[in-house]
């Protein structure tokens, strides 16, 4: 039996975190770094703030906040305006944020959110983007129910007869919406399809007011859909997320809880895409 060479040691397995990574006790927390991140996050939500204002808002001493700011300024994460005596978020923070946004695609970020949405509602979750006058479905998480909606990735559906489509149309400027209505025919698919521009505009206004779109058997008889828009860091609607299922399950009684779940999923995905949210 050959003897092991003492000079050759097996390579260490690369690790992304230590064995006790889930230990969030004080011994594994860098308090000064945590305070610095608190200052950076607060400053990112403020158009500009003086040192005294930041210290007051964060309940920290001005000396502590100043040391943090100077350190962050050295990394170009914050900037100081000597004329106004205001501190601002720095350009380097945008660079780092942009790198995060390039890490994964919209579909990658949406998958776990869509899966949870399907589990909460029991209905199929969909993700779609605008392509000219149609919705292009790019991802779907199917329900396990026997009767279910199915939109394979790559499927196109007219925007005016789609929950996601109407959620996106509702976010368009009036000029863009007018051009789209003028060039794309409002074809009728069922008795409930919105084929008149005035009727469609009224529905889109209601969609904006309540925060979600409702496809009431407008594309396929017996199928309903509830959808909400997804925004990016420029606050532009870049996609829509929805749940769809048979009218026998997506009932009037389920409207509010389903809509709440869809809007929460859209807000979560929007935050992952860099959109500002009302939550801290």
Q: With respect to residue 9, please indicate whether it lies within any of the assigned structural domains.
A: no
Residues 171, 204: Cα–Cα separation, whole Å: 9
What is the rounded CA–CA span in Å between residue 157 and residue 110?
A: 20
Domain membership flag for residue 20? no
Distance CA 221, CA 247 (A): 9
- What does 41-99 look like in DSSP terms, one character per residue? HHHHTSS-B-HHHHHHHHT--HHHHHHHHHHHHHTTSEEEETTTTEEEE-HHHHHHHHH
| pTM of structure | 0.67
Residue 179 to residue 194: CA distance in whole angstroms: 17
Domain boundaries, position 226: 106-272
Pair 123, 91 in one domain: no
Same domain, 113 and 93: no
Q: Is 180 domain-assigned?
A: yes
Using alpha carbons, select from 208, 196, 198, 141 the residue that is nearest to residue 168: 208
Please check whether residue 255 lies inside any domain of the structure: yes
Look at the chain and report how many structural domains it folds into. 2
Q: What is the pLDDT along the chain (280 residues), one digit of tens a residue?
A: 445 555 555 555 555 555 554 555 556 678 999 999 999 989 887 888 999 999 999 999 999 999 999 999 999 999 999 999 999 999 888 788 777 656 568 888 999 999 999 999 999 999 999 988 899 998 999 988 877 677 777 788 999 999 999 999 999 999 999 999 999 899 999 999 999 999 999 999 999 999 999 999 999 999 999 999 999 988 999 999 999 999 999 998 989 999 999 999 999 999 998 887 664 3
Are 91 and 115 part of one and the same domain? Answer: no
Conformation bin of residue 240: beta by default, left when phi > 0, alpha when psi is -120 to 50: beta
List the one residue out of 50, 73, 52 whose CA is nearest residue 63: 52
Residue 226 forms part of a structural domain: yes
């Amino acid at each position: 039996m050959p003897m092991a060479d003492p000079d050759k040691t097996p390579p260490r397995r690369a690790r992304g975190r230590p064995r006790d990574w889930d230990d969030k006790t004080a011994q594994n927390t860098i308090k000064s770094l945590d305070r610095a991140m608190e200052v950076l996050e607060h400053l990112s939500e403020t158009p500009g703030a003086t040192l005294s204002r930041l210290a007051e808002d964060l309940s920290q001493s001005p000396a502590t906040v100043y040391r943090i700011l100077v350190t962050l300024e050295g990394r170009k994460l914050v900037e100081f305006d000597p004329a106004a005596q205001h501190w601002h978020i720095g350009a380097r923070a945008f660079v780092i944020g942009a790198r995060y946004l390039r890490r994964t695609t919209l579909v990658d970020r949406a998958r776990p959110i869509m899966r949870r949405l399907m589990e909460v509602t029991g209905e199929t979750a969909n993700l779609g983007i605008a392509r000219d006058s149609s919705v292009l479905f790019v991802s779907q998480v199917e329900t396990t129910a026997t009767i279910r909606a199915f939109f394979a990735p790559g499927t196109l559906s007219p925007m005016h007869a789609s929950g996601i489509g109407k959620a996106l149309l509702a976010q368009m400027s009036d000029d863009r919406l007018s051009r789209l209505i003028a060039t794309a025919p409002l074809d009728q698919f069922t008795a409930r399809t919105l084929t008149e521009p005035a009727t469609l505009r009224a529905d889109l206004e209601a969609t904006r007011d309540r925060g979600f779109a409702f496809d009431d058997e407008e594309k396929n008889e017996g199928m309903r859909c509830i959808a909400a828009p997804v925004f990016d860091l420029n606050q532009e609607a870049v996609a829509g997320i929805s749940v769809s299922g048979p009218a026998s399950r997506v009932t009037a009684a389920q409207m509010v809880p389903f809509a709440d779940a869809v809007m929460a999923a859209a807000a979560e995905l929007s935050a992952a895409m860099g959109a500002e949210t009302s939550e801290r």
